[in-house]
Structure 1
Amino acid sequence: MRFPPLVFLMGAAFAVTAFAGAAVAQNKAAVLIAKLPVTKDTARGYVYNDICNFYASSQADSGLYWAREAIRYTESIHWKKGIGFFHSLAGRMNNDLARYDAALKEFDTAMSIFIAIRDTAKMISTINDIGVSYMNRSRFDQAAPYFFQALSLAEAKGNKSLAAVANSNISDLYYAQSDWQRAIRYDTLAIGLYGEVRDSTGLANGYLGLANAYLKTSDTAGARTYYAKAAAMEKAVGNDFGLAEVYTNEAVTRSRVPDALAEQLRAQAIWDRVSPLHSISINNTGNIGLSYKALATADTPANRELLHKAETYMLKAIDMSRKVADSGGVAYFTGVLAELQGLMGDYKDAYENFHKYQDEEDSLHSQESKNKLAELEELHEVALRDKQIEITRLNLLAEKRRRLVLIVGLCLVGVIGVLLFFQNRARQRTNVQLRRLNKDLAAAEKVKAKFFAILSHDLRSPIAGFINFINLQRAKPDLLNAAKVAAHQQKIADYAEGLLSSMEAMLLWSKGQMESFTPESRPVPVSALFRHLAIFFAGQENLLSFVEEGELTLYSDDNYVKTILHNLTANALRAVAAQPGGRVECRAFASGGRVALEIRDNGPGMTHEQLRAIEEDRPLSQSSRGFGLHIVRDLARAIGCRISVTSEIGAGTTFHLGFAAA
């Protein structure tokens, strides 16, 4: 039987596919890298992550380069979580490149950072990765504790994704030890969890592990089923690394050598691109040589062209094994090479390679002895470290006691300091209260002086006029005729009403000067205020008018407001009493969410000196408005009323009051 044409066509097809895929990959990588200069802070870290993830499934060495670039960048911006993440990612890249010592260093750095920032999820993930490093070197007894620890932590935290990873790793561990049933059990658990969290990449890995286990139990049909599922899933997520692994393992299920070779070549086209020195890639290269050898020896005599192809792949497998220091691989593939050279009649090279094979085998056995000695030495070092740890523990215990004594002393000093602090605070509060009382006392003295000054000015005139009129009537009752008596009686009544109004206003003002009397705000209809003024100033309708724009209600103390309006209206009426065509208008309207009241007159206006009474705390001497302006000023302050006044000599005066709306 001859199959050369089929073999050559397959090789050419895979070469074209690999070239096209590489071109697309380079374009995608260029797009991702172009984003780096235009992003800043942690956003650039996420771009680095995308680049690393892209290369992780295609070129692990390039992925490692970008992971290190990401570490440098995250260190420059002091992003601890990013630094730990990219150290962990660099460790995984080193795992894929079979650089296990370098991987463990990266994981140790990442682990210390995740512990410091208390990122439990990243800690669990790193524990899994450390276990993988040991498992890839066949140190199963060291890998197992890490995987089971990761599984326990993930289950305790309820993290199904990380629990799935741990189950998958445990399955790989049992697979490596030929315990197929346990491998199937843990892979089944992993697949269930991956399905719950919808992790396509995890499902693909789970299907691949399950297929490998079924293949080992001679269930070829089951293996093919899960290889197909794994391949479909790996293609869907674009994981070339996983797809190459699927194709490599699926080749074993093919009973016909050409079919197996087709799968091997398809896998190697990907391996050469993503991770040529991976252990699976090396084994696949050797298997391709064996497949060509099987095809060559199917004919009689053997097909020399196919034997040369087999020799080429064996030499390549030997070279790859040497690069990763795999003595077992070098020995095995050298033995096959010697057999191939014997078939081709190259007995000299066959003899030399057979001796190399024996030397490698002897060296391998010698290395096993060295490994045992190294293990014993490692156990001895572990014992020494345990002793050192115990000494360190005792030292730490003594240091802890010293710290306890120091802490107790510091606590006592702290308590004394706190007591002194609060004592000082109490003294300061007492001093503040004394200063406030002194200030209040000075203000009370000031109010008293102002009060008597106002009394002397505003109450003297009406009382003096009243006394003078009584004395005139008593001394000369016939001096005034009936009309003048009536006029003077009316004037006396006006004086009495004014005096009563001033006394009421003064009482309310004096209450406003005392802290124990506070305004009681309530909704007050403007119409009720205007009715009060109309009743109080009955008989002066020809001078007084009211305008209310809508039904308005303000929120304040009605007694305070009535007193303010009464004083301002009375002052305005007095100002226009002798003015031809004199008018006083009380107007209410809404303004900026508040209620505005205006008392406007067209009297003689107020001087600058008179206007200052609204703003200053001094008596206004010789003013026709006198005490009322002080009342208005102080009561407006008490109820939070905004008051302003505009006046022009000869044109009149307008008082503007602003209140909160109800």
Structure 2
Amino acid sequence: MRCVTIILAFFLLHQPVNGQKEGRALIDSLVSELPNAKDDTLKGRLYKRIADESFFIDTRQALTYARLGLAHVSAMRWQRGIGVFNVAMARAFSDMGNVDSCMYYNKRGLEVFRKMGDTYNMANTFNNIGVMQQNLASNYPEAIRYYLLALKEAEKLGDKYLMSNASDNVGSVYLTQKNYKKALFYSLKALNLRGQLEKGDNYNIEREVGNSLNTLGSIYLQMKDTTAARGHFSKALVMQERAGNTEGLAKAYGSLALLENRNYPKRLSYARKSEQLWNEVNPVHIEAANNVGNIGAAYLEMYKIGSLPEGITSKALLLKEAEQYLRKAIRISEQNGDIGYKSHFTGILAEVQEQMGDFRNAFYNFRAYKMVEDSLFSQEEKNKIAGLEGEREIALRDKQIRINALELEARKRQQWLLTGGLLLLAGIGALLYRQNRMRKRTNVQLLHLNNELDEANQVKARFFAILSHDLRSPVANLVNFLHLQKEAPDLMRAEAAEIHQKRLTESAELLLEGMESMLLWSKTQMQQFKPQARRVAVEDLFEYIRKFFSGTEHIRFTFDNPGSLTVVTDEDYLRTIMQNLTHNAVKALKRTQNAEIHWKAEAKGGRIVLSVADNGPGASDEQLNALYDDHATIGIKSGLGLHLIRDLAKAISCEISARPNAGTGMLFSLVIKEA
């Protein structure tokens, strides 16, 4: 158990010169700086630091500097400083066993901190009041109550230093109640927290860890686990020597003395080292009383077994030494107000008095011992302590339940958000996938169309190249003849002029025919001109052909439409096809005797077939190539008409075929679906 000093972040002393110093050397260095401190705030911090370090070296010196510091900050009207030094004064009076003064200054400090809302220093003050209730008043339920208040505030702040001090003190109360399981739990918790501390001006890590090791050693000692106890006490001794902690060393040596049991020379050696150190730091400390009382108990044990130590010549002297040390322990306990150790050593004194034959005083002392023991360690006291901790555990459990509920709600919300996010991502992914598929399909279609367009452009380029040549030739002949006739009419005889004029007339007719076919074909290539299907009478189509070629004298035209058939198609497209086929037949029959062209309409298998036959010389496969092949070479004299017929027929979904007629000539068939 230990009292905790109050150090705030703003109330720390940052002195690089003193960073590596410990114990008395550090205190002397700080005292030497006081006269040079011109700033009042800095001087107040120096007073506080000196008081804090002095508690582990000399309690009276700590009280002196705490009093000087309180006067200094009171003159400054520094409220937090006033609270801090009030609690420092309370700690000094607690170590000296002055209950009333300790409680007075603690209450003054607590009042300042409550007004300021200073949770950190409130936690420290609660802890200090708990120490006073435990050590001076032996009121263990009140001690536990204040320790748990300190622990609650420390946990709110998450301050490991405050949490470790409160936990260590709770463990010490359970140790006095012999509840070793609880004592170990809180003491190990304190050791773990102190092991996580980082170096700071308000505490010494080795000193804090050493205090925890000493507490754990005391627990194992009472549990009769001497091996574990010795290990912890030895480690604590090393830590306190490094820290220069006189108080900690005194506790460690006193604890090691108890371990030696029947090795009385070593036991007394450790105990006297502890006594010497307690006389330096605080002769009236409760652990100082415990140490000298244990020396008295050792002399009583030596008397019982008849072991005489060096310097003792008779067993009677052993009893006198035992009585002397036990009375000193009781006197120190009375001075510091500790009921527990006073009662314990009063009971041992009664045993000494019994051995000395003073049965009357032995009886009275033993009865006083039993009354106090029954009061301090009664079941009622234990129940009160258990009830206080139970309240804390219930509060912690309720808090954890609320935290778990909030976490569960947050997880559910997070789960819904995650599910929504996944669905959104899935939707976006599906849209992107669909868009990608559509883009790929579109790209394939575009690539296909581009290829077709490139191919069509190449065909059209070849067509226009041939067309330009075929058109230029007759025009050039006509121009040359006109120039010759104008500039040198005498060079041409009448017979030659007539022959040339005949050729020019033929060339002009051929040119007109080619231009007409080209214009019709160009019209079919324009996308805005689309077939307009409607029902057309075959007889009307035949009548159109009959009238169109009525001026052709040397050819006999016949038409056969037995069923008065009709077709559903674009009339203009079909007329042009029939006109071109008829025109091609007329050209083929130019030198044929008894020339005939026969148009026939018939229904076959749900389709209408229009066919034209002639008795001319026929046509070769090369001449008909333009009717089927898009890449065929074409020109005015080599297939422009058939190329036009093919494109027009394709536009109105008309199947066209050509084959030799029976005997002589050609037969062209147009197959149209019957509506």
TM-score (norm 2): 0.46
Q: Which structure has the larger Rg?
A: 2
Answer 1 or 2: higher relative contact order, Cα 8 Å, separation at least 6: 2
TM-score w.r.t. structure 1 length? 0.47
